[in-house]
Amino acid sequence: MEKETCNFSFCAKPAIEEIETDLLLIGGGMACCGAAFEGARWANPKKIKMIMVDKAATDRSGAVAMGLSAINTYMGENDPVDYVKMVRNDLMGIIREDLVYDLGRHVDDSVHLFEEWGLPIWKMGDDGFSLDGFQAKEAGKVMLKDGGKPVRSGKWQIMINGESYKVIVAEAAKKALETNRAATGLKTNHYERVFIVKLYNDAKDPNRVAAAAGFSVRENKIYIFKAKAMVLAAGGAVNVFRPRSTQEGQGRAWYPVWNSGSGYALGLQAGAELTMMENRFVPARFKDGYGPVGAWFLFFKAKATNSLGEDYCVNPEALAEAKAKYGKYVDNLGTAIRNHLMMRDMKLGKGPILMRTDEAMAAINKNFKEKLGDKEGAKKVKHLEAEAWEDFLDMAIGQAGLWAAKNIEPDKVPSEIMPTEPYLLGSHAGCAGFWCCGPEDLGAPEEWNKKWPAGSYNRHSTVKGLFMCGDICGASGHKFSSGSHAEGRIAAKSAIAFILDHPDYKPTIKETVDHLAAELYLPFEVYEKYKTLTTDPFINPNYIRPKMLQTRLQKIADEYFGGIGTWYMTSKTMLDEGLKQLQILKEDTSKMAASNLHELMRCWENYHRILSVEAHARHILFREESRYPGYYYRGDFDKIDDTNWKCFVNSSYDIATDKWTVKKVPYVQLVEDAAPVKH
């Protein structure tokens, strides 16, 4: 197939802006907002220039765009050692305990800042009942940092009024960028609606990052940022697998559709080593609305059962069957195992699976009225209901539309839940991401810190100058919004130390600016070149439009890499066939066609998704066991095999040869085993 090239014969050449900075922050989500806030503290006194680039408007970009109802990681009275045990349990025994402990000891400071910046945090009332964030403020409840008592939904989670969570955190980041402009004289250091397509390594040092190229999604302009160091936090990957939502509902997903795996794709193309990319997150969610379940299980103490009213998590036959294959990991009843038990009942035809919201609300009603009497009790229930609905709906507005469409009143009837399509992420109950340097003071192997080849800087990737955090820092899940922010702060501080330790470094790349412009704008050239050869510009044998490319990608992933279409089942033979077809799709990407800037972004988003899911599939192929039953199954190795596979799986990609190297890395336990769980 003749490889397409762009020499701007058919499409207009974009304006090109070259920008030199010291520190570049790629992303504008929770992690990068933390990086901007902390970065300015250390950069300003040293007049170090810091720039943030976000594909969207930072006030409402990333996973927290719509708001959240809870902060899922807040230590408070808990010991970070127990946090490590919880995360290790939930992620089936394999995590970087140094990175998780390090996050646990830093996260609360970010939450205290959020409250200082105006985030309403629920507090316990003197009567033992919860006060929402606004009531707590009116009641003059002290701040968390001064010992205020949050309303815990679970051992690690606290309730918030989080509709404007991202706006509040973004404001602090933007203020920090403003102070950096004042300190360095930079005119502009916050670029919104600029989509970063590719990183380029240094002309003289192939294992050092030097530049990032992207394009504006609002005007014909591309940006080339040259930097001494970069913090990459562009989030996880959604819409790589065929979603359960179809046609008119196809925009609906749980994790944000605008997180298209750029974090993974940018880092792996630069040669950064990945870890645990075989992991994925398949959350149980309210069916079709994709509303989260944590608040219902933890705060409203709701139960989920099969349609026969049986609690699928306590069925002795099911537990014994699972234990025979997956051993002691079943005892923890972590997120993956809960899914596994739910799917077992669904496959037995005991579905639909129901979240008993009605029973939960009835129980709360009864409890409040017993304690407060009918009148006061009813008033409290009304307020909690309003809070619950409002809070829940902040985060998953689609759920309200669905309840209305289906005449469902959750306090009167249960709602169906089911496992979604898989997502790739590293900050929620998943741990797919990059292999990163850790802190030197936690007794971890020196290979993980002091002897880190690229230089011992906390959260440094294996590529010099490239730092990872949030969703894409691997083997350290359960960070959530607060932990991602804290990790961004850790990464930025390290990046500035790296810059100060390499004062004479000047980033240079071998590619010319015209080469980069041609690479980024190729889909425009292809479209303009062939668009008139058919009567319908969507049907043309000479190119592929982004929607078609995404549908083909999702079909391959779903049918061969363990999607909903196979009940998450895959095997060597399926993976081999899927990877063969994915290779053809990758070749077809030189025929991507875009008719406008929006489609140009969609083209490159899908290219990033292809690389992300390829890494995922190659890791699943390499790990010959089923480490995460309930997330995916290797039909040819349907068991957990600690003897051979209690280890990390790492990989790296060579963009020049399109070749992958995958290997085992020894697992090292730092925190003693947790006491066996009693159910």
Q: Which helix (H) or strand (E) holds 231?
A: strand 229-232
| Closest by Cα among 601, 597, 593 to 523 | 593
62 binds ligand SFD (CB under 6 A): yes
* Residue of this chain nearest to ligand AMP (CB atom): 294
30 part of the interface to ligand SFD, by CB under 6 A: yes
Residue closer to ligand SFD (CB basis): 332 or 482 = 482
Cα distance between residue 182 and residue 357, in whole Å: 52
Of 424-443, which residues contact ligand AMP (CB under 6 A)?
429
Q: Report what 28 binds from ligand AMP, ligand SFD, none; CB cut-off 5-8 Å by kind.
A: ligand SFD
- For residue 524 the two structure tokens come to 């425009």
What are the residues whose beta carbons fall under 8 Å from the beta carbon of 573, sequence distance 6 or more?
Answer: 636
| CA gap 107, 80 in Å, rounded | 10
Q: State the number of binding residues for ligand SFD (CB under 6 A).
A: 42
Entry field: residues in the chain: 679
User: Per CB under 6 A, does 606 bind ligand SFD?
Assistant: no
Q: CA 279, CA 623: separation in Å to the nearest integer?
A: 10
Residue 298 binding result from ligand SFD, ligand AMP, none, given CB thresholds of 5 to 8 Å by partner type: ligand AMP
Task: Please state the closest distance from residue 308 (CB atom) to ligand AMP, in A.
Answer: 20
Pick from 43, 173, 196, 620 the residue near ligand SFD by CB under 6 A: 196
Asked if 283 is part of the footprint of ligand AMP (rule: CB under 6 A), the reply reads yes
How far, in Å, CA of 678 to CA of 158, rounded? 24
Residue in 256, 474, 477, 578 binding ligand SFD, rule: CB under 6 A: 256
Question: Within 41-100, which residues bind ligand AMP (CB under 6 A)?
Answer: 72
Q: Is 611 helix (H, G, I), strand (E, B) or coil?
A: helix
Q: Which is nearer to ligand SFD, 162 or 377 (CB)?
A: 162
Residue 292 is a binding residue for ligand AMP (CB under 6 A): yes
Q: Work out the angle between the directed axes of helices 262-269 and 597-622 (0-180°, nearest 10).
A: 70
293 binds, among ligand AMP, ligand SFD, none (CB under 5 to 8 A by kind): ligand AMP
**Which helix (H) or strand (E) element contains residue 274?**
strand 274-275
Residue 400 burial (CB < 10 Å; 0-12/13-18/19+)?
middle
Q: Give, as ranges, the residues between 385 and 414 that touch ligand SFD (CB under 6 A).
A: 395
Indicate the residue type of 236. Answer: G
Tell me whether residue 74 or residue 457 sits nearer to ligand AMP (CB atom).
Answer: 74
By CB under 6 A, is residue 527 in contact with ligand AMP?
Answer: no
Pick from 143, 167, 257, 293: which binds ligand AMP (CB under 6 A)? 293
Residue 35 binds ligand AMP, judged by CB under 6 A: no
Among 294, 327, 352, 401, binds ligand AMP (CB under 6 A): 294
Pinpoint the alpha helices (H) of 91-158.
97-116, 133-138
Alpha carbon 62 to its chain's center: 9
Judged by CB under 6 A, the chain residues 145 through 164 that form the site for ligand AMP are 154, 157
Q: Which is nearer to ligand AMP, 235 or 546 (CB)?
A: 235
Provide the 10 A C-beta neighbour count for residue 571: 19
- Total H helices, total E strands in the chain: 17, 23
Helix (H, G, I), strand (E, B) or coil at 320: helix
Residues of this chain that interact with ligand SFD (CB under 6 A) are 26-32, 53-56, 61-64, 68-72, 195-196, 214, 233-235, 254-256, 259, 262, 292, 294, 395, 427-428, 470-471, 480-482, 484
Residues of this chain that interact with ligand AMP (CB under 6 A) are 72, 154, 157, 283, 292-294, 297-298, 335, 338, 429
